[in-house]
């Protein structure tokens, strides 16, 4: 008796037809008439269920007929073609062993549940169609990202999660400590004495691995991070989580154009990979979550991405007939409504906007010759707006130091970052991509809480 | 002029011989005589350097001749065979562009540096042979782990980093907070009011994703985590870091034997993958770091792993002629000296020890029929001792609840973990593998600080 997965059966049906096989999985539905019944079984290997048919000659027919939802079973039997029926084949059970009987109060009964309710049972929701699809696609997408970079010779770097530097200053941070709150050590001035903390200093959770990975970029030329990052922002929106995963590639001997090419190649590669490797899940999303999904993703895969400057983008927005909620003008940051106008209505495809005013971008971005803009890039996609942000980095020591002085950043906090410019620094560039934002885009799911296994948001860290 | 990587040149030499090519990289050494010179260039794509030869007809011969170490250059020229010489080919430069000149006080001059010193310049050490090899192998190994699980249909799950439950209780934890230490909120009893903290409760950094991933195992059958975990242990040893990466697979409809088979297959696969995909790096480690390395790894790949019970292990130790520092006896935990005796001297190959006394193992491990031991497994390997720890999990609700009561664990803290037993829970098993421990084993590096890009240890969180 060969133990097989339901994925095997669907993908290589011919190999198993009329053979004795065994499958193990969980009951999704049971329908029984007097002398026979059907069970839809899902074994986690595949989005779809296998139909099992059983008859009253089963020694435990009664127990099987009254199986509760989500009970674990192992079925032995013969795989038969069922021509004309809704499904092309079914497993005719010779034996059904009950491996784990669900209690009758199983919370996921057949009726539809709201996503809000399902968040309260995040430990059970991957058993539903929607979340089974979301979290398999999350896995496939994560692998596609690694595969893309590894096949191109990038080195995966684990930048630190606990950081002693608020280097990027990209938002509010979570403090990491082992100090006893009821007995905080104080120095002679009465300030908290962080020299007594675990690391001997103040430490926080990282907001980005970029500065650290730049140092590895100067050794390996092509590197990337893929790890969790954190923001202690008090933003209770469908798009913000306190803990999320980021991918940050960095390439040396490379400028903003190389960076845009890399971002475009990566995005096309990973979307294509997911469409090819999770076709049933993607069909489901397109049918039940967002029926513009395939059109949207095809447009990304098949477009040549547009490239315009920030200055041009402002012109386009100023000439638009659209009423915007937020003001438009050179020097002001673009809001989502502006970004969406440009990518959805004006160009109708993905657009890179480059060369932003230095005032609205980070200190490490490379100063352009106009001395007013920096070599930043944001990639906008229809339906979302910004999905990737990046830049060419300032590799010129004096200009970087001057910029840091202007912004009041202390050189001693960045000594190692500056070293990279002193010792063989060369032009380099990189970008950041939020895994969850991309996953929302690819699945059509509209709340970040529904693409993270156990989401961490303001006032919520359950499980 | 084709831009190529040094890896391309070494792997497909024939394709580039006598061709005009261009490479970009960093100067490792320069040797100059009057009218010509040699530069060893490393471009990060490959462990080995490419030799560039240049002559005084170069317009910038003087600048090139005085290039400082680690300067970034782009070389155009023709790749020529150099028969009889130390290297099989060299790049005869037609043009050398200096892309970034290093300052003369570059800390990594030609002399040997101690690993201790190199830790103080962790941002520069990947430019040395040893750390270039370590961190490329770390990347290759990480990918091999993903590849192994993905090819076998496992779903990658990102379990939370910030956790509201001290569920595993596997050690001291780091607190995560946004409370203001100078103004801690207190409730009416005078206790810290954690409802005012970011998540509305006490939160910590995870020590393991196991309990969470078990819930996903009951949906996908085969799952794994791969992410950072944390221990706030005050252990200043070469093998302990406060932040490290763990891999935790979990399989359903599976028992301890399936778990041991998975661990053995995985270990053999990833070691073989690294040997095949980083051969130059592994040669280097075997030559300069640990010359028993290949023998040790071959022994892992080619052995059928041994399986013994804890009770048998105690017998072996009691009969050993060896003097042990720590006592041996049924009920006592095994120390590294005991583990190493069993795997190195007694069996001379990897050994699984199973069925440990319940008192020295975690509450979630499955009780054996003897009611004294649990279905735990530790995998010991020669040269290290324990490298993997795992177990079959207790899937029987009443027995798990009883065990939790015995240990004083509160059911309400584990409601979702218990739910998994109520609703279609079935036999399942899994294990944990520390990435850094495995990397130390594969590279022969003996200090965990030398296999983590920016290590976090007691009193140390630099960069």
List the single residue in A with minimal CA-CA distance to B166.
A463
Q: Which residues are paired to A51 by β-bridges?
A: A40
CA distance B67 to B454: 29
Band (pLDDT 50/70/90 cuts) for residue A393 is: very high
Q: Which of B105, B144, B112 is nearest to B130 (CA)?
A: B112
Q: Which residues of A touch B177 (CB under 8 A)?
A: 174-175, 177
The reply to whether residue B423 touches residue A124, judged by beta carbons under 8 angstroms, is yes
Instruction: Kindly give the pairing relationship between strand A36-42 and strand A72-81.
Output: unpaired
* Residue A164: predicted pLDDT: 86
* Same fold flag, A6-100 and A127-170+207-450: no
Indicate the DSSP class of residue A186: B
Specify burial of residue B85 (Cβ count, 10 A radius: 0-12, 13-18, 19+).
exposed
* Residue A185: predicted pLDDT: 96
The reply to whether residue B227 touches residue A222, judged by beta carbons under 8 angstroms, is no
B219, containing H or E segment: helix B210-220
**Where does B127-170+207-450 sit in CATH, by number?**
3.30.930.10
* Residue A422: predicted pLDDT: 97
CA distance A344 to A353: 14
Q: Which residues of A touch B45 (CB under 8 A)?
A: 153, 220-222
Residues B268, B301: contact at Cβ < 8 Å?
yes
| pLDDT tens, residue by residue, A56-73 | 999 999 999 999 999 999
| pLDDT tens, residue by residue, A364-373 | 999 999 999 9
pLDDT over 80 (residue A110): no
Neighbours of A227 (CB within 10 A): 23
* Residue A169: predicted pLDDT: 55
Main-chain dihedrals φ then ψ at residue B156, nearest 5 degrees: -80, 125
* Residue A112: predicted pLDDT: 86
CA distance A131 to A108: 13
Q: What is the share, in percent, of chain A residues with pLDDT greater than 70?
A: 99
Say which residues have a Cβ less than 8 Å from residue A389's Cβ, sequence separation at least 6.
Answer: A376, A377, A378, A379, A431, A432
**N- to C-terminal Cα distance for chain A?**
39
Q: Which residues are paired to B51 by β-bridges?
A: B40
List the single residue in A with minimal CA-CA distance to B176.
A176
Kindly list the averaged pLDDT for each block of 10 residues, start to end, along chain B of length 463: 94 96 97 95 98 96 96 98 85 97 92 94 97 98 98 98 72 91 93 95 95 98 98 92 98 98 98 98 98 97 97 98 96 96 96 98 97 98 93 98 94 94 96 97 97 96 92
How many CA atoms are closer than 13 Å to the CA of A116, on its beta-carbon side? 1
The reply to whether residue A43 touches residue B161, judged by beta carbons under 8 angstroms, is no
Neighbours of A195 (CB within 10 A): 12
Percentage helix, strand, coil for chain A under 3-state DSSP, each rounded to 5: 35, 25, 40
Q: Which residues of B touch A99 (CB under 8 A)?
A: 253, 426-427
pLDDT over 60 (residue A236): yes
**Where does A6-100 sit in CATH, by number?**
2.40.50.140
* Residue B295: predicted pLDDT: 97
Give CA separation, B123 vs A90, A124, A211, in Å: 59, 43, 10
| pLDDT tens, residue by residue, A410-454 | 999 899 999 999 999 999 999 999 999 999 999 999 999 999 999
Give CA separation, A177 vs A77, A130, A212, B227, in Å: 57, 38, 22, 20
Task: Classify residue B46 as left (phi > 0), alpha (psi -120 to 50) or beta.
Answer: beta
> Rounded mean pLDDT of A195-203?
95
The reply to whether residue A198 touches residue B242, judged by beta carbons under 8 angstroms, is yes
Q: Which residues of B touch A453 (CB under 8 A)?
A: 157-160, 212, 216
* Residue A168: predicted pLDDT: 54
Single pTM value for the model: 0.97
Q: Which residues of A touch B201 (CB under 8 A)?
A: 461
Asked if the ipTM is above 0.95, the reply is yes
B139, containing H or E segment: helix B129-151
Q: What's chain A's average pLDDT? A: 95
At B212, is the secondary structure helix, strand, or coil? helix
* Residue B1: predicted pLDDT: 79
Compute the nearest-CA separation of A9 from chain B (Å).
14
DSSP A331-373: TSPPPHHHHHIIIIIISSS-EEEEEEEGGGS-TTBPBPTTSSE
Give CA separation, B107 vs A73, A242, A417, B114, B130, in Å: 64, 39, 15, 13, 16
Compute the nearest-CA separation of B341 from chain A (Å).
34
Number of helical (H) and strand (E) elements in chain B, helices listed first: 14, 17
Q: Where are the domains of chain B?
A: 6-100, 127-170+207-450
Residues B207, B231: contact at Cβ < 8 Å?
yes
The reply to whether residue A200 touches residue B459, judged by beta carbons under 8 angstroms, is yes
* Residue A171: predicted pLDDT: 59
List the single residue in B with minimal CA-CA distance to A71.
B424
CA distance B313 to B304: 18
* Residue A156: predicted pLDDT: 98
Main-chain dihedrals φ then ψ at residue A376, nearest 5 degrees: -95, 160
Give CA separation, A441 vs A294, A372, A455, in Å: 11, 33, 18
Compute the nearest-CA separation of B170 from chain A (Å).
16
Say which residues have a Cβ less than 8 Å from residue B303's Cβ, sequence separation at least 6.
Answer: B349, B350
| pLDDT tens, residue by residue, A148-191 | 999 999 999 999 999 987 555 555 899 999 999 999 999 999 99
The reply to whether residue A416 touches residue B160, judged by beta carbons under 8 angstroms, is no
List the single residue in B with minimal CA-CA distance to A145.
B143
Instruction: Kindly give the pairing relationship between strand B428-434 and strand B243-252.
Output: antiparallel
CA distance B255 to B262: 11
List the single residue in B with minimal CA-CA distance to A425.
B100
């Amino acid at each position: 008796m060969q133990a097989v997965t339901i994925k095997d059966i669907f993908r290589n049906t011919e190999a198993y037809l009329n053979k004795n096989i065994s499958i193990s999985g969980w009951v999704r539905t049971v329908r029984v008439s007097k002398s026979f019944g059907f069970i839809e079984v899902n074994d986690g290997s595949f989005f779809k269920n296998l139909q099992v048919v059983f008859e009253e000659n089963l020694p435990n027919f009664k127990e099987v007929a009254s199986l509760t939802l989500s009970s674990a079973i192992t079925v032995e039997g013969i795989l038969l073609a069922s021509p004309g029926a809704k499904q092309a084949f079914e497993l005719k059970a010779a034996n059904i062993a009950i491996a784990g009987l669900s209690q009758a109060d199983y919370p996921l009964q057949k009726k539809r549940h709201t996503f809000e309710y399902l968040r309260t049972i995040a430990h059970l929701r991957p058993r539903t169609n929607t979340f089974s699809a979301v979290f398999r696609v999350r896995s496939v997408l994560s692998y596609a990202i690694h595969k893309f970079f590894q096949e191109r010779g990038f080195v995966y770097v684990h930048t630190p999660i606990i950081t002693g530097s608020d280097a990027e200053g990209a938002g509010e941070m979570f403090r990491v400590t082992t100090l006893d709150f009821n007995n905080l050590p104080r120095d002679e001035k009465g300030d908290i004495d962080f020299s007594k903390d675990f690391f001997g200093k103040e430490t926080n959770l990282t907001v980005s691995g970029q500065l650290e990975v730049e140092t590895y970029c100067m050794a390996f030329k092509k590197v990337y991070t893929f790890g969790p990052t954190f923001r202690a922002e008090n933003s209770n929106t469908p798009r913000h989580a306190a803990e999320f995963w980021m991918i940050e590639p960095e390439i040396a001997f490379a400028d903003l154009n190389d960076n845009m090419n890399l971002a475009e190649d990566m995005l096309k590669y990973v979307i294509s990979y997911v469409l090819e490797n999770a076709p049933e899940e993607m069909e489901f999303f397109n049918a039940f979550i967002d029926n513009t999904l395939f059109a949207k993703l095809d447009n990304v895969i098949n477009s040549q991405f547009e490239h315009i400057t920030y200055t041009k983008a402002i012109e386009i927005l100023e000439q638009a007939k659209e009423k915007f909620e937020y003001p438009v003008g050179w020097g002001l940051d673009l809001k989502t409504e502006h970004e969406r106008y440009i990518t959805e209505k004006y160009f109708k495809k993905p657009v890179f906007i480059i060369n932003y005013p230095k005032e609205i971008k980070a200190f490490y971005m490379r100063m352009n010759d106009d001395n007013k803009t920096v070599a930043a890039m944001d990639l906008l996609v229809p339906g979302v707006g910004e999905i990737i942000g990046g830049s060419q980095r300032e590799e010129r020591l004096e200009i970087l130091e001057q910029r840091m002085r202007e912004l009041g950043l202390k050189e001693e906090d960045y000594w190692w970052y500056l070293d990279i410019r002193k010792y063989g620094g060369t032009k380099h560039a990189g970008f950041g991509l939020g895994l969850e934002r991309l996953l929302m885009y690819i699945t059509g799911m509209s709340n970040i809480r529904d693409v993270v296994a156990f989401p961490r948001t303001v006032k919520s860290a359950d499980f």
